[in-house]
Amino acid sequence: MDKPTPPSRSRSAFLIPALFLGVISWLLYRNGESWLRQVLLYLSNAGWAREMVSNWSISWRVASRFVAGSDRDAAMAVTRDMNDAGLLITLDFLGESCTNEGEAYQARAEILRLLDDIDQRGLNANVSVKPSQLGLKIDPNLAFENICALVSKASEVGNFIRIDMEDHPTTDATLDVYRRLRYQENLSNVGVVIQSYLYRSEADIEQLIEDGARVRLCKGAYAEPAEVAFPHKPDVDANYLNLSRLLLSPAARAKGVYPAFATHDPKMIDDIKRYIQVNHIPSDAFEFQMLYGIRRDLQEELVKEGYRVRVYVPYGTAWYPYFVRRLAERPANMWFFISNFLRA
């Protein structure tokens, strides 16, 4: 990973981040975790914050916990180590919301090379892609062209592409790209992601079951208005479990649905495990998914119990938005950031 330029050791270079983190810590204490999440999700898209935080040397020290490195070689090394531990991988070349066609084509070229590297090195890994990185917000047809090239290449080398879901204004366009790949291009080695915090997700899941889709179920990591998303965590969690039941239902299994349950919440995982055991669902009919750098102990514990576990491993230099969303997801990650700053 290309490290941010180390700041000067001057007093002001220390005081600016110290003041920034101090204000966040104090407001967290006064306002609670839900407030912190909203602030961090705002900061994940704020250009001024990206420029400031990326230039703190401490930022990379913490971000490297969640990001494998700056290039494919670093990602390949991490993938090999995790494969050796019995973990499956999905690789993500970091980047989102490209601003022109050239950036979209550059991302496409990198991911094509990534698919070749996975094949040539014999790694057990597939690839996740963000539609906005490949041009969705410029022109949906541009994103379709690029993702189609990636899914076609993956098919040639016996691999699979997962289309990530981003913020809610892109949901319909993302699902449209997926269905065009399935039914217009007859490509079956492609899957999608559904977020349990969206009200619409049950209807989307029901349609995807009819499609026999490969679906990753996650809670969602973007700032969404209450008009489209559950504002409270207990409701998001309850919907997650409801959607997991749909994806594991006899009707879904009869259609060939293969679900991936993306969560680090032990209670959620235990609930899904109980449902699977009671209903005699084989362990190769689904998988659990988690993020690189979070709960490695739980990942390995599930592998020992005989479950499939896939780890989402990002790499690249565009780490800032991804990193800040990880801080937003779990307050413990924010305290980890602050404690590392104090030790710097």
CATH number, domain containing residue 307: 3.20.20.220
Helix H segments across the chain? 11-31, 33-44, 47-54, 57-63, 72-84, 101-121, 140-156, 171-179, 201-211, 233-247, 250-254, 266-278, 296-304, 320-329, 331-343
- Tokens representing 333? 């990650």
216 is catalytic: yes
More confident residue, 14 or 150: 150
Predicted pLDDT of residue 11: 47
> Which residue in the list 216, 253, 295, 310 is annotated as catalytic?
216
Does residue 48 sit within a domain?
yes
Does residue 2 sit within a domain?
no
143 is annotated as contributing to ligand binding: no
* Residues 206 and 171 both lie in one domain: yes
255 is annotated as contributing to ligand binding: no
Predicted pLDDT of residue 33: 62
State the pLDDT confidence band at 8, using cuts at 50, 70 and 90: very low
Does residue 156 sit within a domain?
yes
The predicted-structure confidence for 214-240, as pLDDT tens digits, reads as follows 999 999 988 899 999 999 999 999 999
Mean predicted lDDT score pLDDT of the chain: 88
273 is annotated as contributing to ligand binding: no
Helix axes 331-343, 11-31, angle to 10 degrees: 150
* Residues 81 and 110 both lie in one domain: yes
325 is annotated as contributing to ligand binding: yes
* Residues 116 and 231 both lie in one domain: yes
> Which residue in the list 72, 92, 164, 253 is annotated as catalytic?
164
**Quick check: pTM over 0.75?**
yes
Total domains in the chain come to: 2
The predicted-structure confidence for 293-303, as pLDDT tens digits, reads as follows 999 999 999 99
Mean pLDDT of 252-278: 97
Does residue 4 sit within a domain?
no
Helix axes 171-179, 201-211, angle to 10 degrees: 0
**Structural domain boundaries enclosing 54:** 11-64+331-343
Phi, psi of 263 (to 5 degrees): -165, 150
Does residue 215 sit within a domain?
yes
* Residues 108 and 181 both lie in one domain: yes
What percent of the chain is predicted at pLDDT more than 90? 71
Contacts of 66 (CB under 8 A, 6+ apart): 291, 292, 293, 294, 314, 319, 322, 323, 326
CA gap 274, 182 in Å, rounded: 33
195 is annotated as contributing to ligand binding: yes
Q: What is the dihedral of CA 279, 280, 282, 287, to 10 degrees?
A: 30
